[in-house]
Structure 1
Amino acid sequence: MVIDKKYCMSSFLTFRYIVDEEKVFSENLKHKNITLYDEDEKLACDSAEEIDNAIKSQLSAIDLSDAGILLSGGMDSAILASYMPKGTKAYTAKCSAPNAVDETARAKKYCEIYGLEHIVVDVDWDDYIACMDELMLNDGCPVFANEPQVYALVKRMQQDGIKKIIYGDNADMAFGGMDRLLSRDWTYEEWKERYTFVQPQKVLKEHEDMDAVYRRYQVGDYVDYIKFLNEVFASSSSAAYINSFEYANIKYFDPYAKLKMGKPLDLERVRNGESKYLIRALFKEKYPQLEIPEKIAMARATDYWLRDWGGPKRSEFKENCIEGMTGEQKFLIYSLERFLNLIDNHDGDSMR
């Protein structure tokens, strides 16, 4: 294990997590990257029926009497809701800010169709501030914008007596849901530009080039973006949920995490408006009366919450580095600065 703050800062801004587990911000703050199942452990599915049977089989082996479900307005969690016992509590986040995405109406429809109890959890900036430090210390890394929202949902579920959480994060990776990133074949340089969340060189006075990570996926002048998403993106996405679950000490299960496509992804279908075409087919079986919802990101309100933030003040950051950035990008920088202040002012082990 090597303390390498420059690498860790650069990796977090680029990928939203620290790619190299052997490099840490502080000797007291280890972090781990998430792989729920190896590829050879996953069940190959070639049809909506096979996905249906695989989910049903997995959930039938679990006692769902004390389970709750994280329910958005999207297809993935809506499908999982159809397998839950009647009366199961389903939790949807609603961000308290103007113009924030509101998925509660769509989620309520799913609950009405399958007899679930719908619970809306209002999440505001105070909820983020209340848990950010603990989540960061638990993972040894700054958080990105999903994590505090997930934790707010988890705490409400625990207050209601929920002992295990059913959620659906991994369908996008397994079945071709990242339609914008799958929209064309990317050259190596195009992919670096497109995927990087925040370019470290624009924010940090001293940064480390993350080219070595991208090079692992280079194929000639192009990039194996599907493998990249299944490894790099999947690790950061899973961490947002699992860090919250593990810090709250609650059981969790994602049936999609153990599934994969048996045949190569049909990129032509994805690029012609049928992202996750097998999941779409299963959704239509479960909800024939509803239109298929198009993918939207997890509801957050970072644009509004950070509208007046003046940017980082620490010496590691360049002046005026947040100009022109989105709320999501500002949050990554805010989180990084907050984390650096945290580890400067406290010993990591003493705060866990």
Structure 2
Amino acid sequence: MNEKMKVDKTYCMSSFLMYRTIVGHDRKFSENTIPSFYEATGSLEPIRNSGELERSLRRSVEQACQGGRAAIALSGGIDSAVLARFMPCGSVAYTFKCVVPGKEVTDETPQAARYAELCGLEHRVVEIYWDDFERYAPVLMRHKGAPIHSIEVQIYKAALQALADGMDTFIFGETADINYGGFTGLYSRDWTFGEFADRYAYIKPYHVLKEYEMVTEPLKAFEKDGMIDVHEFCRSIFLQEAMGSYTDACECAGIRLSTPYAQTRLSVPLDIERIRRGENKYLVREVFNRLYPGLEVPPKTPMPRPMNEWLSGWDGPRRSEFWPRCTAHMDGDQRWLVWGLEKFLNMLEE
């Protein structure tokens, strides 16, 4: 496989900006850099209802905890809260807390601490600073052979802490959104091929790169009669990108990764209309309501990473591949992708 990889820097840069990953697994940035990709192993357990989902998640968590040295990444959302209910009493739960000196940013630790108390877990906070991104991003990029999603730095730092605390397994609630309809915006309407390409692309490469390629092949496999099957796209391209981030960070740290939701697959059609009526991730919600009766479901928030604040003073890339001032009107998450791509290109020349 690696011997057949084609060096195609323009494709790889464009793909990363659009999808946060190199979608074509036969491409690489340079001759001596081999990217790693997430490959699912084993069969996925078919899920038809919330009862089956609850039983499957419980079994997966119990199996991950058999050695007695498993910890959970506990956010303020419902996905990890469900898994926390199945952890042995006294287990350790880690919550990420991004810190921007002098500014208030999203903080999930109070809600996560509430879950930990209800589940009898020991709650520990891992503080994340911009210095961590400058320190760990190059380590993770070298391991991955490609630029990285910003969440990898947080996962990696927490994994290092878990290892130092004597843990050997880290449990995450990743892919609940992907598998069970958590992306309200993506499911809010039907999308034509062109509309979804515009909606999903994190950065259109021609806004940033002087030489670029519009990488639309990943979408064509999920097009029928001009419309995109959003759920199947998420369960394929999006899942590979997301799980690639978690796998890279944990492998790089040297800790075993457990993702119970990723071991399942919804085997009945996703109820799009139910999601559009306001019940996104409805099967996970049903499980949450049984495990935490009377507890209000908190609003959904992505893993906190205040890139708007951290990269507010960055003037943009300086390499010749990029247009000058291309990041002037970008949000922080988009700036991170450009920052990370330039960092990786610089590393290739070192």
Q: Same fold (TM over 0.5)?
A: yes
Which residue is 1:83 aligned to?
A: 86
Shift of 1:156: 1.1
Task: Please tell me the residue identity of whatever aligns with 1:49.
Answer: G
Q: Which residue of 2 aligns with 1:159?
A: 164
8 A contact 1:64–1:84 mirrored in 2 = no
Residue 80 of structure 2 aligns with an amino acid whose one-letter code is S
Aligned equivalents of 1:289, 1:37: Cα separation in 2 = 38
1:259 aligns with 2:242: no
Shift of 1:134: 1.0
What corresponds to 2:281 in structure 1? Answer: 276
Equivalence map 1:194-343=2 (5 Å) = 194-343=199-348
Conservation of the 8 A alpha-carbon contact between 2:69 and 2:167: yes
1:67 pairs with one of 43, 62, 70: 70
8 Å CA contact 2:61–2:83 kept in 1: the answer is no
- Mean CA deviation greater in 239-248 or 95-104: 95-104
DSSP-derived class of the 2:96 partner: strand
2:10 alignment counterpart: 6
- Paired with 1:200 and 1:221, the residues of 2 have a C-alpha distance of 23
The separation in 1 between residues aligned to 2:67 and 2:265, in whole angstroms, is 24
Aligned partners of 2:187 and 2:272 also within 8 Å: yes
1:52 partner amino acid: E
Q: Is the 8 A contact 1:64 1:85 kept in 2?
A: no
**Which of 135, 144, 152 in structure 1 is aligned with 2:140?**
135
Tell me, in whole angstroms, the C-alpha distance in 2 between the residues paired with 1:261 and 1:275: 14
Query: What is the match of residue 27 of structure 1?
Result: 31
How many residue pairs end up in the alignment?
343
- The whole-number CA distance in structure 2 between the counterparts of 1:309 and 1:67 is 39
How far the C-alpha of 1:64 sits from its partner, in A, is: 4.7
Alignment deviations for residues 296-327 of structure 1 (CA, whole Å, 9 cap, x no partner): 11010100000000000000000110121010
**Identity of aligned pairs, percent?**
38
Aligned equivalents of 1:166 and 1:3: distance in 2? 35
Structure 2: 5+ residue stretches without partners: none
Q: Which residue of 1 aligns with 2:178?
A: 173
- Structure 1, unpaired ranges of 5+: 346-352
Question: SS in structure 2 opposite 1:61?
Answer: helix
Scaled by the length of structure 2, what TM-score is found? 0.95
Amino acid at match of 1:17: T
CA displacement at 1:142 relative to structure 2: 0.4
Q: Which moved more, 1:45-54 or 1:193-202?
A: 45-54
TM-score for both structures, normalised by structure 1: 0.95
SS at match of 2:95: strand
Q: Is the 8 A contact 2:77 2:298 kept in 1?
A: yes
Q: CA RMSD in A?
A: 1.2
Report Cα offsets for 1:15-52 as digits up to 9, x if no partner.
000011211112222113213246xx211222222111
- Tell me how far apart the structure 2 counterparts of residues 263 and 20 of structure 1 sit (CA, whole Å): 29
Structure-2 separation of matches of 1:79 and 1:180: 23
1:60, CA displacement in angstroms? 3.0
What is the CA–CA distance in structure 2 between the aligned matches of 1:103 and 1:195, rounded to whole Å?
26
**1:29–1:139 Cα contact (<8 Å) kept:** no
1:145 corresponding residue in structure 2? 150
Q: Distance in 2 between matches of 1:64 and 1:283?
A: 26
Local SS of the residue matching 2:157: helix
Give secondary structure in 2 for the equivalent of 1:214.
helix
Moved over 3 A (4+): none
